[in-house]
Structure 1
Amino acid sequence: MDTLQDVFEQFEAAIEETGMEKIKTVGDAIVATSGILTDNHEPVLTAVECGFLFRDKANAMNPSWDVHVGIHYGPVVAGIVGRQSLQFDMLGHTLNTTFRICDTSEKNEILISNDAWMTVPGKLRGKSRDPGTQGKSMSNYWNAWDCVRDESSVKRRSSGLGGLIRNSKTKRTFSTMMILFYGIRFPNDFSFFDHFAAAA
């Protein structure tokens, strides 16, 4: 458990450092967003930078860890789920697609959907590769090698759910902006996760 705690602390530090937002863990995956709880006009670059930081931190641990990173860009339904154990959650095709991308990624690969890639033309270096379809057909993925952020670019951030509107009649919260999702998979040979097969 000490090792597991260290892993999560390292990854949460990376999320905080880059301005990402941790939403939840699902089995052996971490779901984080950019641009939903804080404003960010370059969410894809932020997620890629966080992915590189995840990989660096995981590989530097003793023993080292392998991570799988999947990044996608699209709309979601977001809000408070349940009545007893209230939890802010997100649903929809974008989240499902991100998990498929994460499952498709190789060890220590930062794999990005074409939709996400096209939002930052000229700011990422990488190589296109076949998606190896899982279920639904998709455009090519991109394996990111490097991230180029304009030094004059400043992230716009604000506290609160600035990108969301509330529908009081249905008591649900709908996203009015494009949200990026992001997943991390841990190695299957770590015994703690033997009981969690959902995202393996």
Structure 2
Amino acid sequence: MDNLRSLKPYFWQTDTAVARNSWCYTENNDYKTAEEIIRDLVDIVSKNGSLLLNIGPRADGTIPDEDRDILLLIGKWLEVNGEAIYDTSFWRTYGEGPTEVKEGQFTDGDTKVFTSEDIRFTVKGSSLYATVMVYPDNGIVHIKSLSEGSSHFHGIIKNVQILGYEEQPMWERNEDALTITTTGVKSIVPVVFKIDLD
């Protein structure tokens, strides 16, 4: 099973739970953070997959506060960035960066340590969405897959904007990368650039 590692030409689904140690309600669950689950979602969707997320209600059907808080934070991120997830398709490459996602049974509880070089792509119409998994403190993002010498894209970039921010980023494209510079973007959750292509 290498679904989690690479882009698939067919649609696929995987699942995870909000807790590392349980798929049902138990006391003292070891919960994942909403940021971890959002990064997993972005990574999976970029590879033509979907994520089924499990929560564990109590015996009376109520949802524990910890589960609810995680779901609300994910929902808040999707309110801003959902256009990079919903009704999108995979691009010519799922992404770039050094982090390799482990696969197989018993790896679901492992924390994936993404970096600011890890970027995932989705596409809708003429818009390419580049999601930066960990936003760099200096506000400078290099997207090598969109360089002038890239084997993935030979077209024209018309505009770059940041979902959820009013700031208009500065950007330039050369043989090494599309470099995007921001001054006011600080985020512990993934940041999405909407890139208009021609």
Normalized against structure 1, the TM-score is what? 0.27
Greater RCO, CA 8 A, separation 6+: 1
Q: TM-score if structure 2 supplies the norm length?
A: 0.27
Larger Rg: 2
More helix as a share of residues: 1
